[in-house]
Amino acid sequence: MARPLRIEFAGALYHVTSRGNARQNIFFDDDDYTLFLAVLSDICERSIPKLPRGA
Protein backbone atom coordinates (compact mmCIF):
# COMPACT_ATOMS: atom_id res chain seq x y z
CA MET A 1 0.00 0.00 0.00
CA ALA A 2 1.42 3.38 -0.99
CA ARG A 3 1.78 6.11 1.60
CA PRO A 4 -0.56 9.12 1.41
CA LEU A 5 0.59 12.10 -0.66
CA ARG A 6 2.29 14.91 1.22
CA ILE A 7 0.43 18.16 1.68
CA GLU A 8 2.24 20.98 -0.12
CA PHE A 9 1.66 24.72 0.19
CA ALA A 10 3.52 27.95 -0.50
CA GLY A 11 5.90 29.03 2.25
CA ALA A 12 6.08 25.58 3.85
CA LEU A 13 9.36 24.17 5.16
CA TYR A 14 10.32 20.63 4.17
CA HIS A 15 12.87 18.21 5.57
CA VAL A 16 14.69 16.51 2.68
CA THR A 17 16.62 13.28 3.03
CA SER A 18 18.52 11.17 0.52
CA ARG A 19 19.04 7.48 1.11
CA GLY A 20 19.30 4.43 -1.12
CA ASN A 21 17.07 1.37 -0.92
CA ALA A 22 17.80 -0.68 2.20
CA ARG A 23 20.04 2.19 3.36
CA GLN A 24 22.54 1.55 0.58
CA ASN A 25 25.00 4.28 -0.34
CA ILE A 26 23.79 6.74 -2.96
CA PHE A 27 27.20 8.30 -3.66
CA PHE A 28 29.80 6.09 -5.29
CA ASP A 29 32.71 8.51 -4.96
CA ASP A 30 33.58 12.06 -3.92
CA ASP A 31 32.62 13.41 -7.37
CA ASP A 32 29.06 12.09 -6.96
CA TYR A 33 28.77 13.77 -3.57
CA THR A 34 30.25 17.03 -4.86
CA LEU A 35 27.79 17.09 -7.78
CA PHE A 36 24.87 16.45 -5.40
CA LEU A 37 25.93 19.37 -3.20
CA ALA A 38 26.33 21.64 -6.24
CA VAL A 39 22.85 20.79 -7.55
CA LEU A 40 21.31 21.18 -4.07
CA SER A 41 23.03 24.53 -3.62
CA ASP A 42 21.76 25.74 -7.01
CA ILE A 43 18.18 24.73 -6.19
CA CYS A 44 18.39 26.46 -2.80
CA GLU A 45 19.76 29.65 -4.35
CA ARG A 46 16.84 29.77 -6.80
CA SER A 47 14.12 28.65 -4.39
CA ILE A 48 14.76 30.05 -0.94
CA PRO A 49 14.01 33.75 -0.42
CA LYS A 50 16.89 35.83 0.84
CA LEU A 51 16.76 37.47 4.26
CA PRO A 52 17.87 41.08 4.51
CA ARG A 53 21.35 41.51 5.98
CA GLY A 54 21.29 41.97 9.73
CA ALA A 55 18.05 40.02 10.13
Q: Return the pLDDT at 55.
A: 55
Residue 5 lies in a domain: no
Residue 1 lies in a domain: no
Torsion angle (degrees, nearest 10) of CA 42, 26, 14, 6 = 120
- Contact, 29 vs 11, CB < 8 A? no
Q: Return the pLDDT at 44.
A: 81
Residue 55 lies in a domain: no
Q: What is the pLDDT of residues 3-53, one digit of tens each?
A: 888 778 877 777 777 778 888 888 999 999 999 999 988 888 887 777 666
Q: Return the pLDDT at 51.
A: 65
Residue 15 lies in a domain: yes
Residue 3 lies in a domain: no
Residue 26 lies in a domain: yes
- Looking at the 3D structure of the chain, how many domains does it have? 1
Q: Return the pLDDT at 38.
A: 95
